[in-house]
Chain A
Amino acid sequence: MDTRSITNAACIDILSDKKKSLVLDLRIANFIVKKRNLTVMKSFRLGAIWNMLDPLLHSLVYLFVFTVIRYNSNPGNLMIGIALIRGLQQNLIYGSSSNLDFTAGLKIERVRSRAIVLSELLYVIQTSFYLSFGTVMVLLLLDASYWVIPLMPLFCILNGLVWYSFGRMLSPIIQRLPDFKKIVTYFGMLMFFGSTALYPLSMTTGMHRQINLYNPFSYVVEPARYIAFGTDSIQLLDPIVGMAISIIAIFSLVFGLYIIDKQRWRWSTWS
């Protein structure tokens, strides 16, 4: 029989059938994501298709603005940048502000934190995949390499997870100081114009380039451009900085997900 011990420090479940519990947690995670999708999409006639159409149309509008109105010689590079920067903004803000009702209103039984972590991962992977779907189609029209078909979704998912986890690291600060959320939103806007989303690293100079050499976003967008169009900005990246960013990203992802349990417990009696 399952037992539970509840103290100030934690709510610990001792499960009698660990395999069955894992299956149930996976189903709950799937339900949470499904409920979110249904709640958002059910009222539209095109339903879940908007999950893919929304980011595609958004990117196409930006593409139009930055290529037709303001001439840009390489729309493919721009498309990759816009898709990935959207992933950055979306997931950074989502991770930092995901409220503590992670459970999609499930009240019957306490939802284990493991199920919540799984649902968060599923949600970020799903939205990042949808984001990549339309981008890949446009990139193929722009004569990108066929490698974008398997690799662009992968880049979008990695990018989404990295920025989601940075957001999660910031969420305890936002819980205490809600004003910080504004700063995160403006940081996302600054990244749109200041990072290498709208132009490759090779077009930057001086301090702007130096800053972007330490910007994690450059280490996702430039390899993606290299794979799609063989652009050479990737050579400007510092492999040691890239390694350091990868380690920090993995650490923050693990830590960001780990603190979900502590956070929801700590904040359960706050309003």
Chain B
Amino acid sequence: MEMVDMELDDGLAISVSKLSIIYRIRSKKLIGRSKIKEVKALDKISFQIKKGELVAVLGKNGSGKTTLLGAIGGHLRPESGTVNTCGRVYTLRGANPGLVPHISSRENIRMMSQIYGVPNQERVEFEKQVEEFCDLGEAYDRDYSSLSSGMAGRVGFGFTTSLTPEILLMDETLGVGDVEFRKKAEKKAMEFMEKGETILLSTHSLNLAKTICNRGLVLDKGELVFDGSSEDAVDYYLKEIIK
């Protein structure tokens, strides 16, 4: 429990200390005991993020970006080390944040806004804001399961970024949808940043990392190999990782 009082008193939003994550994968056999393979996804990573910082996490596929966000979001158990966060942590990952397939986006947003604590007096405005952002026309009232992945992604993104988390973890989500939607999503992320909240963005879009973020972390094979400004992080990634 002493970890909770942590070093987060001086304006820190996230503190990661010597974090290691190991996945255990069971290989199934037809008969007999299954073998357990251990995969080290993160290796003694340490960094701190201040409130209001916008941080890009760069790295090749399999470098540990998603695992890092999963660990900060409280979804994965560390093998060792600690993660401390100050504020509600929301994760924007994949197209569907848990919406019900058999009801419309409108009904979904109504239900989800209740469970994520949107105050009653703000709910109508909130729902309108999400609907406008999604810009789906009549499809907004169709079953969620009947939407294309791009359309479904708009609903998920629109809903999550209309909430007011103190810390937002975004995993490749700005890649969802067409060019027009991506521009809207970038604008929405910028608005979010201007609200002074903290964002950790895992992305392969180096341009996005440079334009939106003010800091960059580079991961390689589960290790944190660079921590600095987003421009320097992109340069390091291009020179040392991609080569």
Chain A residues in the interface with B (C-beta under 8 A) = 1-8, 11-12, 14, 20, 24, 27-28, 31, 34-35, 38-39, 42-43, 103-110, 265-266, 268-271
Contacts and interface: CB of A to CB of B under 8 A. Distances in A.
20 contacts: A2-B87, A4-B89, A6-B72, A6-B78, A6-B82, A6-B83, A8-B78, A11-B74, A24-B116, A105-B96, A108-B97, A108-B98, A108-B116, A108-B163, A110-B89, A268-B76, A269-B24, A269-B76, A270-B24, A271-B25
Given A39-B101, A105-B98, A110-B89, 20 more contacts: A1-B166, A3-B4, A4-B83, A4-B85, A4-B89, A6-B71, A6-B78, A6-B83, A8-B79, A8-B80, A14-B4, A42-B103, A107-B93, A108-B90, A108-B98, A109-B116, A110-B75, A269-B21, A269-B22, A270-B24
Contacts, number: 120
A103 B76 contact: no
Nearest to B67: A269
Contact of A39 (B77, B102, B165): B102
Contacts of B115: 24, 27-28, 31, 106
B80 A103 contact: no
Interface residues on chain B, size class: 35 or more
B86 interface: yes
B92 interface: yes
Contacts of B4: 3-5, 12, 14
A7 B88 contact: no
Contact of B94 (A4, A103, A107, A269): A107
A6 B6 CA distance: 11
A11 B83 CA distance: 9
